[in-house]
């Protein structure tokens, strides 16, 4: 049997796969956003005094 470009299974499960993909993408965005907020909120950059010295 030759390999077809797109199996019927892929078409049938397209919405499910799309949903999982979008959920994972959203999760990545959330982790990234939380990281930015936490890093900027807790002042992980150099303290002002050190910069002045």
List interacting residues with other proteins (CB under 8 A).
Answer: 8-9, 12-13, 15-16, 18-20, 30, 33-34, 37, 41
All residues at 6 or more sequence positions from 17 whose CB lies less than 8 Å from its CB, including other chains: 10
Shortest distance in whole angstroms from residue 29 CB to other proteins: 11
- Closer residue to other proteins, CB minimum distance, 45 or 51: 45
* DSSP SS3 for 2: coil
- Closer residue to other proteins, CB minimum distance, 12 or 25: 12
């Amino acid at each position: 049997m030759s390999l077809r470009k797109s199996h019927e299974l892929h078409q049938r499960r397209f919405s499910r796969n799309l949903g999982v993909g979008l959920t994972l993408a959203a999760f990545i965005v959330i982790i990234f956003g939380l990281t930015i907020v936490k890093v900027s909120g807790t002042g992980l950059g150099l303290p002002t005094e050190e910069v002045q010295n």
